C-alpha cells in the first residue's frame, strides 16, 4: 500500500496540470471549461423511472443536452425557481439567457435485470459541453422491496416508510450508473473519498488508508459493496464484489484512480492495470494484464522501459487508450506496436512483437515478407523469407533447423547450443534464434557471423547484402584484371 501511495504522489502532478489547464477562464466564461450543478429526483415504480432533473448554476451560454438512451416523455417543467425560457422547441438545447436553472422531466423504462440485481447504465441527462461539479440524487423506491441503491456518490441517508423507501446521495461529479441489489449490506466504513459496505467488521485503519490513497490521487468518491452473492458489477464510481474479493479492494481502487487520471476508457481497464503495474514496478490486477506486464519486461530493453515509465509520469493531454499506449511503447522502443490494441480485441499474438519500422532492401528490391522484430534491444529477422532472398532453403523438424543452398548446408540444433556447417560442428555460447508465432527469427549479429550477411542501417531502410557475394565479386574482378594484364 505504501508503494501505491508513493506512485500516487508522483503522478498527482498530471492531475493538477489537467485541472488547471482545463479550468482557465477568460472574459468571464471559458466555453471549453463550463461547469454546472444538478439535483436529480428519481421515482421508481418497479417498471419505470420518472426523473425530474434540475440543471443549476448555468452560465448565460448555449448548452447541448444529451438525453439517456431510450428516454421518453421529455418535457420542460416550470416552477418557482425555474422557467422554460431557455429551452428550445426540440428540447435538445439550453439556449443562451439569464436564467441560471432549467428543469426537465423524462421517463426511462426499467432495463432487463436478473433476480436480486438491477443495473441502469447512463440513466441521467448530461450537458454535452460542460462538466457537473456537484450532484444530489433523491431516489424514491415505490416498490418498497428493501435492498439498497448505489450511485457512487456518498450516501447521506435513507428512510423506510410503509409505501416507499427513500435514499439521498450527494457529492462531487457525475453519476454514470445506478445499481440496486436485494441484499442490504451494512455500512462498514464512510470516508471522504471511499465508502465500504461489508458484513464483516472492517479494520478502521484499512479504510482510512484507502481514503488517504484516493485523496492523494484527487479521486472522486467511490463506493465498494462486498456482498454474499456472485455478481461483479463495476462502473466509474462504484464496484459490487463478492466478499471473497475483499483482498483486491486496494488494487481495484488504485486501478480506477489510474483510469481517472489518464482518461482510460472503462472498457480498457487492462490498460489501467498495466499502467499501474509499470508505475509500481510489480504486477497488479487481472491475469491478462499481468501477462502483458511480463511480456513488456521480457521484450523491451531496460532503457526502453525507463523511457516508457518517464513518459507515463508526464502530464497527459489526451486519453490513454490502448491504441495510444501502443504508440507510447513504440516511441520508447523505436518500433511499431499493435499488441495492446489486439489484446483488448482478443486477437493478441502469443508474444509481444516490436516491429522494426524500416523496410529491408536487397539491392533495389524491398523484401516485403521480411519484418524484423526487436527483443531486448536486439534486432531479429525471420529466417525463412530472408535467406530465401539469397537462394537458401530453410526447413525444420522437431530437433533441427536445416538451411541449404547449392553449395552449403547448415543444421542448427533445437536441443543444444551448436550448429553443423558442412559436417563440422560449431559450439555456440547462446542460441542465435528465437521461435515466435510459428516461425524462427535469427539475431542480426549471428546472421553476420554465420551467414556473412551485412546490414547497413539508414534513416528509412536497412540495406542487406552478402559478404560472400562481395568477396566473390572482388575475386572475379581481380582475376579478370590479371587475365587482361
Per-residue pLDDT in tens (0 to 9) along the chain, 485 residues: 455 444 444 444 444 443 433 433 434 667 667 899 999 999 999 999 999 999 999 999 999 999 999 999 999 999 877 789 999 999 999 999 999 999 999 999 999 888 889 999 999 999 998 999 999 999 999 998 889 999 999 999 999 888 899 999 999 999 999 999 999 999 988 887 888 899 876 667 777 777 776 666 567 788 989 999 888 888 888 889 998 888 778 778 778 878 877 888 878 888 988 998 898 788 887 888 888 899 999 999 999 999 999 999 887 788 899 999 999 999 999 999 988 988 887 776 678 889 999 999 999 899 999 999 999 989 999 999 999 999 999 999 999 999 999 989 999 999 999 999 998 999 998 899 999 888 899 999 999 999 999 999 998 999 999 987 666 555 455 545 555 55
Q: What is the pLDDT, as a whole number, of residue 201? A: 67
> Distance from first CA to last CA of the chain, Å, rounded?
83
| Res 81: pLDDT | 76
Q: 235 near 152, Cβ under 8 Å?
A: yes
Q: How far apart are CA 188 and CA 230, in angstroms?
A: 20
Q: What is the pLDDT of residue 471?
A: 63
Q: What is the spatial distance between Cα 11 and Cα 358, in angstroms, rounded to a whole number?
A: 34
Q: Distance between CA 372 and CA 374 in Å, rounded?
A: 7
Neighbours of 93 (CB within 10 A): 16
128/34 Cα distance (integer angstroms): 10
Place of cell 572482388: 474
Chain centroid, CA 280 distance in Å: 16
Please count the CA atoms within 13 angstroms of the CA of 293 that sit on its side-chain side: 22
Strands (E), 359-473: 359-362, 365-366, 373-375, 378-382, 393-396, 400-404, 409-413, 418-421, 424-427, 433-436, 439-443, 453-457, 461-466
Task: Give the total residue count for the chain.
Answer: 485
Strand partners, 201: none
Burial of 116 (0-12, 13-18, 19+ CB in 10 A): middle
Output 281-287 pairs: Cβ under 8 A, ≥24 positions apart.
Answer: 281/3, 282/3, 284/251, 284/254, 284/255, 285/251, 285/255
Q: Write down the pLDDT at residue 294.
A: 93
Neighbours of 201 (CB within 10 A): 8
Distance of CA 225 to the CA centre of its chain: 24
- Count CB neighbours of 227 within 10 A: 24
Amino acid at each position: 500500500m505504501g508503494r501505491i501511495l508513493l506512485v500516487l504522489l508522483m503522478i498527482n502532478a498530471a492531475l493538477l496540470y489537467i485541472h488547471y489547464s482545463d479550468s482557465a477562464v477568460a472574459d468571464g466564461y471559458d466555453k471549453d471549461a463550463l461547469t454546472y450543478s444538478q439535483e436529480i429526483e428519481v421515482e421508481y415504480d418497479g417498471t419505470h423511472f420518472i426523473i425530474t432533473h434540475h440543471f443549476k448554476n448555468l452560465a448565460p451560454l448555449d448548452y447541448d443536452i444529451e438525453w439517456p438512451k431510450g428516454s421518453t416523455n421529455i418535457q420542460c417543467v416550470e416552477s418557482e425557481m425555474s422557467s422554460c425560457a431557455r429551452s428550445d422547441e426540440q428540447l435538445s438545447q439550453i439556449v443562451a439567457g439569464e436564467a441560471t436553472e432549467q428543469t426537465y422531466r423524462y421517463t426511462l423504462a426499467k432495463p432487463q435485470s436478473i433476480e436480486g440485481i438491477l443495473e441502469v447504465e447512463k440513466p441521467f441527462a448530461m450537458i454535452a459541453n460542460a462538466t457537473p461539479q456537484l450532484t444530489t440524487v433523491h431516489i424514491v423506491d415505490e416498490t418498497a422491496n428493501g435492498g439498497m441503491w448505489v450511485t457512487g456518490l456518498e450516501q447521506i441517508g435513507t428512510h423506510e416508510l410503509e409505501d416507499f423507501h427513500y435514499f439521498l446521495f450527494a457529492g462531487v461529479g457525475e453519476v454514470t450508473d445506478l445499481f440496486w441489489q436485494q441484499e442490504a449490506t451494512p455500512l462498514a466504513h464512510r470516508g471522504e473519498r471511499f465508502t465500504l459496505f461489508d458484513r464483516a467488521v472492517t479494520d478502521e485503519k484499512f479504510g482510512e488508508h484507502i481514503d488517504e490513497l484516493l485523496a492523494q490521487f484527487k479521486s472522486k468518491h467511490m463506493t465498494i459493496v462486498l456482498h454474499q452473492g456472485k455478481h461483479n458489477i463495476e462502473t466509474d464510481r462504484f464496484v459490487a464484489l463478492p466478499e471473497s474479493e475483499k483482498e483486491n479492494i486496494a488494487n481495484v481502487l488504485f486501478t480506477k484512480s489510474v483510469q481517472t487520471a489518464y482518461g482510460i476508457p472503462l472498457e480498457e481497464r487492462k490498460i489501467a492495470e498495466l499502467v499501474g503495474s509499470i508505475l509500481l514496478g510489480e504486477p497488479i490486477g487481472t491475469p491478462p494484464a499481468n501477462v502483458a506486464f511480463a511480456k513488456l519486461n521480457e521484450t523491451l530493453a531496460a532503457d526502453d522501459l525507463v523511457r516508457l515509465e518517464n513518459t507515463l509520469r508526464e502530464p497527459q493531454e489526451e486519453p490513454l487508450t490502448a491504441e495510444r499506449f501502443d504508440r507510447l511503447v513504440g516511441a520508447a522502443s523505436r518500433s511499431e506496436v499493435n499488441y495492446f490494441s489486439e489484446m483488448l480485441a482478443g486477437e493478441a499474438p502469443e508474444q509481444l512483437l516490436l516491429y522494426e519500422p524500416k523496410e529491408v532492401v536487397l539491392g533495389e528490391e524491398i523484401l516485403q515478407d521480411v519484418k524484423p522484430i526487436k527483443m531486448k534491444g536486439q534486432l531479429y529477422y525471420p529466417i525463412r523469407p530472408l535467406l530465401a532472398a539469397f537462394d537458401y532453403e530453410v526447413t525444420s523438424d522437431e530437433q533441427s533447423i536445416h538451411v541449404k543452398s547449392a553449395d552449403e548446408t547448415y543444421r542448427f540444433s533445437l536441443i543444444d547450443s551448436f550448429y553443423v556447417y558442412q559436417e563440422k560442428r560449431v559450439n555456440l555460447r547462446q542460441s542465435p534464434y528465437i521461435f515466435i508465432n510459428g516461425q524462427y527469427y535469427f539475431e542480426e549479429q549471428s546472421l553476420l557471423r554465420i551467414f556473412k550477411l551485412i546490414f547497413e542501417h539508414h534513416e528509412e531502410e536497412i540495406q542487406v547484402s552478402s559478404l560472400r557475394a562481395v568477396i566473390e565479386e572482388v575475386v572475379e574482378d581481380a582475376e579478370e584484371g590479371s587475365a587482361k594484364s
